[in-house]
Amino acid sequence: MAQPRSSLVAEILRVVIVVFGAAVGLQVAQSLTTSTEPVLGVLTAPMVGVIVGAGLGYSLGGVIARRLVGALDRGEQALGGVTAEELVSGAVGALLAAALVALVTWPVFLVTTPLIALSIFAFAVILAGAFGFTVAQRRRAAVLDTVSAHTGLTSGPSAAKGSLIDSSVAIDGRILDVARTGFLVVPVVVAQPVLDELQALADAPDERRRHKGRRGLATLDELRHLPSVTVMVVPDDAPQVAEVDAKLVIIAQQRGLALLTNDSALAKVAAISAVPVQNLHALSLALRPPIAVGDATPVALLREGKEAGQAVGFLDDGTMLVVEQARDAIGSTVTVEVTSVLTTSNGRMAFARRQGDR
């Protein structure tokens, strides 16, 4: 099993501390005596200093390293995984932090022995890189925006790094159909405040509210099991804000996510805050058929249908329209009334009758 990133950093820091301790022990021993005679069996004073220093470094290194990277462990657990955007932003942060600390600490090579200086330098650079990676990872949206601004690359709403859904989308349930088609921007991100809100609804005394909460939780659970969808749960990044909607806008801003909602008011607030918005209700309106049952429309009848008396024409968008009892009007344009609309795997088709026919 691979070690967590913070555990690997802790082990590297521990080795650096051991080398540092050995170097300090060697320098102390050499400053106390210049004799090369054995002082402990076959061991000379410098050798004893190296062994004692390395031993102390090993003993103290584990404690020091674990304390230094403890925050990294907690941060990694809270993030719940590393996406490509997190990796890029974290790498940028690590490189910048390591370069800055290297620039500040290089004078240690001028004031002490090379071995001690190298230990101090490596310790500082590794710690700064780990700290920079964690900070940049948490603020990846700002980091990536800054990088884009300085490299001339821009990103629009289509560059959103995932879809942050609110409780209205979970309760609606149509998100499952959208996800199955592959049109959903992944990963799907669920904020802890949304889970808490759905849980509160599921435990409500009112049966209607309870049904909504349970439906929303069931939708999220089913979404989590879809093979083409990755669902991530993120913590509350705005605990100081009371309203869930306001929390979602802040989380979307900080994490570079698009907000997927059915709430028109929340969609407007998010748009004003420069957060990309995916309105599921607007999507359904955009995909509705160009004609509906009861609509009257002119159509040019081009050929016979499969059944007796049928004539076939096509609307401007290519929808096939089958008109009953209109074979005698083939070659002309008639006004028809739509009686039914069907959507199949091959497209959409409609049935109609000539106006006035009953």
Other Cβ atoms closer than 10 A to 58: 15
- Asked if 289 and 306 count as a contact pair (C-beta separation under 8 A), the reply is no
CA-to-CA separations, 21 to 24, 25, 127, 145, 185, in angstroms, rounded? 5, 6, 18, 43, 51
User: Mind listing the pLDDT tens digit of every residue in the chain (358 residues)?
Assistant: 444 445 666 667 667 766 766 666 666 665 655 555 555 555 666 676 666 666 665 656 556 666 666 655 555 555 444 554 555 666 777 788 778 878 888 777 777 777 677 777 777 787 777 777 776 656 555 555 555 555 544 444 445 678 899 999 999 888 888 888 777 777 889 999 999 999 999 999 988 889 999 999 999 999 988 888 888 899 888 888 889 999 999 998 888 888 999 888 888 888 888 888 888 777 776 666 677 888 888 999 999 998 999 999 988 777 889 999 999 999 999 999 999 988 766 667 889 999 876 5
C-alpha neighbours within 13 Å on the C-beta side of residue 176: 16
What pTM was estimated for this model as a whole?
Answer: 0.46
Q: All domains of the chain, ordered by start, with CATH?
A: 5-147 (no CATH), 157-286 (3.40.50.1010), 296-354 (2.40.50.140)
